[in-house]
Copies of this chain bind each other. A is one copy, B any other.
Amino acid sequence: MKKLLLTISYVGTGFCGWQVQADGLRTVQATVQDAIEAVYGERHDLTGCSRTDAGVHAKAFRAAYVLPDDSPDIPLERLPLALNLKLPYDCAVIKAEDVPLPFHPRYDAVYKEYKYIFEDTVHRDPFMNKRCWHFHRPLDESAMDAASKAFLGTHDFSAFMSTGGKIEDTARTVTNISVSRENGFVTMTIRADGYLYNMVRIIAGTLAMASYGKINPSELPSIIASGDRNKAGMTAPPEGLYLTEVGYLEGFAKLKR
């Protein structure tokens, strides 16, 4: 018996999120599990590093499955290609790794990095349709970068959580956050040890509103401290969000939190 960890890239547009849904909707998890079944001739369930919502993209999602001893043993370096031959073109396995059996892609993540892409040109770029959040007026990426620093550190992020998340501990630690213009698009990059439900999208929406003067950046610390969702900005739409990296301990060791 062994555990395999896949790195998966997908365009979120055509998927109803990561997680398998009872009603047979097209999800990334179901799609990759179908490919696994096609390759091995048997079904193995995936455990993901997070649950991305419908429309959210991933450059490097991580998901693991347990392979029984009597399953076909496909060499690690050939496994992505074998799976990709069974996958649709909006989803690709870009890496496969052996990990220790106790390893968990979600609970053993040291950090997760997301990017949020804003487009602030009068004319939408057709090549970025459903891949960014469009504004007609220019955003001020320097002001957004300065404002973003309020989120650094360990905070109770209750004000930046959509209802629906039932979580006891609402403290999270943001280790890096910045906003800059990359390839013409204003891009927020954030790393944290974990996220509350919709936390990245609410932070993105709050920074956009701060750029337009609808939220005073100097009030961000008190908005965070209030724990009041109504004081934070709107939830940015899913199509601008990308899961870009998940960090693990060397050797995929268990994380002692």
Q: How far is the CA of A89 from the CA of B80 in the complex (A)?
A: 33
A residues lining the B interface (CB < 8 Å): 9-11, 57, 80-81, 84, 89-94, 122-127, 129-131, 136
A–B Cβ pairs within 8 angstroms, 12 of them: A10-B126, A57-B127, A81-B122, A81-B123, A81-B136, A84-B123, A84-B124, A90-B129, A92-B124, A93-B123, A94-B123, A127-B131
* Given A84-B123, A89-B129, A91-B126, 13 new contacts (CB under 8 A): A9-B125, A9-B126, A10-B126, A57-B127, A80-B122, A81-B123, A89-B124, A89-B130, A90-B126, A90-B129, A92-B126, A93-B123, A94-B123
Q: How far is the CA of A123 from the CA of B125 in the complex (A)?
A: 26
Q: How far is the CA of A144 from the CA of B136 in the complex (A)?
A: 41
Q: Which of chain B's residues has its CB closest to A90's CB? A: B126
CB contacts (< 8 Å) of A81 on chain B: these are 122-123, 136
